[in-house]
Copies of this chain bind each other. A is one copy, B any other.
């Protein structure tokens, strides 16, 4: 997820053992990323360079480097001579995000005929975490657990690049939820669905699990899109 290379040093073949100290720009990007998916800055809000670099205690140049990263992840949008703004997804974006999720999640699940044990475990753990959060009425963690569930599903593909793309898509989806500030009701009904999907997967029926997930995504998209279009024409 970080930009500095953790993998083997390709030039020399040597391996990097210590975690690479991230650059300041990367740390700033990480901090902002957290804040953005946490909804600290509302979608559409402009982020002032001057104010932020004062607030974070870094120079403008460093902050701008961090901005570039987040713009590429679509968490921020950049407009020439106007600055960067928190992403403000439209209903079209919602549809596109779900298209992306279908291509990432469904094949990963459907083709998981012999899934890695660890990957399946992650899926189950996310379900558990979600249900525990629901018990505690900790809605925020419940949303996080739901995201982690889908991340884990995509993770069945065992591809680092697919995983990274998926986490981007999910981060942007978080923005979608912040546009309409109603995370509780949107996640709660889906927990049972997650449980069912995991059960099917663990019992060796990936195709059944994929079908379940397909209808899940359909209904979830419908719900979000209708809510979105309603909100859009209200404005």
Residue A65 at the chain B interface, CB threshold 8 Å: yes
Q: A interface, how many residues as a size bin?
A: 35 or more
> Is B5 in contact with A79, judged by CB distance below 8 angstroms?
yes
Closest Cβ of chain B: how far from A160's Cβ, in Å? Answer: 6
- Per the bound structure, the CA–CA distance linking A20 and B83 in Å amounts to 13
Of listed A44, A88, A103, A165, residue having the most chain B CB within 10 A: A103
* A96 contact from B44, B96, B161, Cβ within 8 A: B161
Choice from B4, B46, B100, B159 contacting A161 with Cβ under 8 Å: B100
- Is A126 interfacial (CB 8 A cutoff)? no
Q: Which of A66-74, A113-121, A193-201 contacts B (4 or more CB under 8 A)?
A: A66-74
Enumerate chain B residues within 8 angstroms of A72, measured Cβ to Cβ.
Answer: 3, 69, 72-73
Q: A11–B83 Cα gap in the complex (Å)?
A: 12
Question: How many copies of this chain does the complex contain?
Answer: 2
Name the B residues within 8 Å of A108 (CB-CB): 103
Q: How far is the CA of A46 from the CA of B12 in the complex (A)?
A: 12
Q: How far is the CA of A73 from the CA of B46 in the complex (A)?
A: 25
In the complex formed, the residue of B with least CB distance to A13 is B235
A85-133 at interface with B (beta carbon < 8 Å): 85, 88, 90, 96-97, 99-100, 102-104, 106-108
Binding site for B on A (CB under 8 A): 3-5, 8-11, 20-23, 25, 44, 46, 61, 64-65, 68-69, 71-74, 77-80, 85, 88, 90, 96-97, 99-100, 102-104, 106-108, 157-162, 165, 169
Apart from A99-B158, A103-B104: 4 A-B pairs, beta carbons within 8 A: A5-B78, A69-B72, A96-B160, A97-B161
